[in-house]
Chain A
Amino acid sequence: MTTAINIRPVPPDVPKLPVLEISNLAVGYRGSDGFQRVVHEVSLLVRSGQVVALVGESGSGKTTTAQAVIGLLAENGRVEAGAVKLNGTDIAGWSQRQLDTIRGSRISLIPQDPTSSLNPVKTIGAQVAEVLQIHRQGSRAEIDARVIELLTRVGLSQPELRAKQYPHELSGGMRQRVLIAIAIALRPALIIADEPTSALDVTVQKRILDLIDELRREYGTAVLLVTHDLGVAADRANHIVVLKGGRIQEQGPTAEVLAFPRSEYTRKLLADAPSLGKARAVPRIRSPRISGSDDAIAVESLVQDFSIGGSREVFRAVDGVSFTVKRGTTHAIVGESGSGKTTTARSIVGFQKPISGRILVDGIDVTTLRGENLRQFRKTIQLVYQNPFASLDPRQTIFQIVEEPLLNFDPLPREDRAKKVHAILERVGLPQSVLARKPRALSGGQRQRVAIARALVLDPQVLVLDEAVSALDVTVQAQILALLDELQQALGLTYLFISHDLAVVRQISDTVSVLHNGRQVDSGPVEDVFLRPGSPYTRELISAIPGQRGIGQH
């Protein structure tokens, strides 16, 4: 610990004060029994023009630290000790009114969620103008001109039109650009970017991070980048601070931390992060587990339409997708939001009827099934959802959740059911003690294990995993992926893995289909697609994976 929190002494040849200096910061939240400290003795420096990344998993205190800097802690939070020096002035004890004078002009924030961070009833132009008006930057006409200039600067097309539009008329990436325009409007010395791209698609993420980088270089602004994604930090930061449980585990120049991690925790994070070049270094070598060449899933020119607005207009979500999945292998469907990947998965499971095309699962044409036949078919294929917090009934116990599918089919005696539930729980690596608990008493990873147990209790042939690891922290994600691999080896399962995360896909799948706007733009064995992408879109997707600048290039 002592080695981890040391701060590099300021070299004498650097005359300027650091833009931000946090020393021994401690932050607590008031709970039911007094203040509970969540950030302990955090010290770090941000120099002008530098990007410092605060990296950690959920609950590591990274956002709390960032909020403490700008004085935006939740109502029950308070800075309990330490100093936050902005250009040498300690602002930790400042009142909200004092902070108002520097927020926007000296420090600004790029928030995480572009959807909820803009006021839905005001135009984009008015919201950018607001920060200029608050700090009294010139006449109305000057402000209007400056707004257009800023919107142009952050790369929005047709800035005059955008200024008159409302947030709902813009895409997520465009909204994030607007928030960046607001953040840079007064050329602050420090920008705090709190997970600025976590809610965005990977290609959009790359463009937004490029923009922040470019503006930083142009204005010499310092950036405190809060992120859970070690890949993003590796690509963008000069200096990495690794947080866990509110304490700094390690900090240092990016290349040093990545190449020679000193703390155990950083080593684990690096090993678990799928994006950090591991897949590239260790190609997936798999022997075909089942020698038979029969297909577990065969999809032929699948088409799915949705009506929008009135019933006249039709949106084609999936347009002629075809692929086959060999028994016992993993096929991934990759794409960004709106690519039709989830729609494809839901058609395969039998939740919706496609407009045209055939889907054969285990030789049965899903599209023709109805009523009792469809119900019996459910035993063959099961879906695991993205969000384990929504896919488990909050009122049921874990035992009831896992037992329920068994009750839906041939009634087994009570003892046999209990035996089966116990066995499957052991299979997915959960202790028997969770059986009597409700889902809310379990962590995200444990809940996802319960969801997998529920899916497996009927002994299905095929498991469809719809972003099943996307909502999990990277170490938990690595555990669930390992579990899935082990289950596949042991039970000969076929997986259809739906994901937006190419790094994960490369790690676990045998074959892959890349979807873009409902069309399949690439498909084949995973290494072929990654090494010799057939379409420009796939190339763009692959180049946007964070973490590729990797270790060697620093």
Chain B
Amino acid sequence: MTGLNTIGRSLLRDDADILKSPSPPSRRIVFGAAWLKVVKGIRPGLVLAWFVMAIVVLWALFPQWFTSYSATVGVARQQLRAPSAEHWLGTDALGRDLLARIIYGAGNSLSGAFVAVGVGLVVGTTLGIVAGSARGRIDGAIMRGVDVLLSIPQLLLSLSIVILLGFGILNAAIAVGVTSIASFARLARSEVVRVRASDYVEAAFGSGGTFGRVLLRHILPNSLTSVIAFAALQLGWAILTISTLGFLGYGAPPPTPEWGLLIAEGRNYIARAWWLTTVPGIVVILVVLSANRISQSFGKVTA
């Protein structure tokens, strides 16, 4: 009871804030105030992060809007040109425009990342929810399996899966997704267990709710918010890991523009053409940081 009383006291403080404005004004004013809050709460870093993500998504969807060069066909006699007005980011060893390759590469890298996060999210969350709601032996069996998955180094696991499935951007994405199943499962399970222990879930059972109804009406909606925030975080990580696989040669086969592959190809010319590795590297870093920042803001909203 000591603990409960403490909770009670601290709650009273929250209560006071509410009491100060006992009757919320009409809906329109509330929305107005909320809008004002949004405008005031804008953080430059977050805006920048969304801006970066928007550009990259547009690159992936409509690469032809941003460049007139081909991503795969080079121009002879224009190899390894430094950045200039003609080729903003220079050209590679086959005379292909680097900017065009980065822009066309966005599609491959992003779709790969979405597939990877999708695999992890769907499979991992389902496992976590089943484990968290079933408890007992099913829980034990699933979570020990997840522990085994976690005990294998992620890169080693994804390399093994790619080798089993065969090389290619889609297989690399699936491999990366499989390695993130464990994290999703753990998070989803812990959230389900937390929500299950709450008073309102017990009250729902106490008022005659069946298991399925309580799961759908209370447990899932309240536990999935942090899973969604985690998925946004995983997006950045997936781009990075897919690029790593591409760099190691397990991802997209060569002429395909893919960010990891671009960095790997540029490596051979790093002394003569620094831009070939540096610029794609910076793009990857920016996108990963933006995804992290956006995920963080999700976490704050839900918390």
Contacts and interface: CB of A to CB of B under 8 A. Distances in A.
B142 interface: no
B86 interface: no
A534 interface: no
A137 interface: no
A96 interface: no
Contacts of B207: 378, 382, 404-405, 408, 454-455, 458
Contact of A59 (B2, B9, B20, B208): B20
B38 to A, nearest CB: 12
Main secondary structure of the interface of B (DSSP, over half): helix
B13 A58 contact: yes
Given A408-B209, A443-B22, A386 B4 contact: yes
A391 B15 contact: no
A195 B8 CA distance: 13
Contacts of B16: 57-59
Given A59-B16, A337-B2, A471 B8 contact: yes
Nearest to B40: A32
A199 B2 contact: yes
Nearest to B221: A395
A409 B206 CA distance: 12
Nearest to A389: B11
B208 A441 contact: no
Given A442-B18, A444-B12, A351 B2 contact: no
A135 B135 CA distance: 54
A390 B208 contact: no
A198 B9 contact: yes
Contacts of B15: 58-59, 443-444, 473
Contacts of A385: 199, 203
A224 B16 CA distance: 23
B7 interface: yes
Contacts of A201: 1-2
A445 to B, nearest CB: 8
B208 A387 contact: no
A451 B16 CA distance: 19
Contact of A473 (B4, B12, B218): B12
Contact of B6 (A115, A382, A454): A115
Interface in B191-217: 198-200, 202-204, 206-210, 213, 217
A404 B201 CA distance: 12
Interface in A368-414: 375-376, 378-379, 382-383, 385-387, 389-396, 404-405, 407-409
Contacts, number: 127
Contact of B206 (A58, A349, A387): A349
B208 A394 contact: no
A126 B40 CA distance: 46
Interface in B142-199: 198-199
A408 B208 contact: yes
A338 interface: yes
A467 interface: yes
Contact of A404 (B8, B204, B222): B204
A375 B210 contact: yes
B24 interface: yes
Given A32-B40, A201-B1, A458-B208, A394 B11 contact: no
B5 interface: yes
A394 B202 contact: no
A200 B209 CA distance: 36
A336 interface: yes
Nearest to A385: B199
Contacts of B24: 437, 441
B32 interface: no
B2 A383 contact: no
A378 B208 CA distance: 6
B206 A382 contact: yes
Contact of B2 (A115, A394, A395, A444): A115
B28 to A, nearest CB: 14
A482 B287 CA distance: 60
Contacts of B218: 393
A175 to B, nearest CB: 10
B216 to A, nearest CB: 12
A113 interface: yes
Contacts of A520: none
Contact of B203 (A199, A391, A471): A391
B197 to A, nearest CB: 10
B3 interface: yes
Contacts of B213: 407-408
B1 A338 contact: yes
Given A59-B19, A444-B15, A390 B198 contact: yes
A112 interface: yes
Given A32-B37, A32-B40, A409 B9 contact: no
3 closest A-B pairs by beta carbon, nearest first, are A59-B16, A337-B1, A471-B8
Interface of B: 1-9, 11-20, 22, 24, 37, 40, 198-200, 202-204, 206-210, 213, 217-218, 221-222
5 contacts: A58-B16, A382-B206, A386-B8, A387-B199, A443-B18
Given A59-B16, A387-B7, 19 more contacts: A32-B37, A57-B12, A200-B2, A200-B5, A336-B1, A382-B207, A383-B206, A387-B199, A389-B11, A389-B14, A390-B199, A391-B203, A393-B200, A396-B217, A437-B24, A440-B18, A451-B203, A471-B8, A473-B12
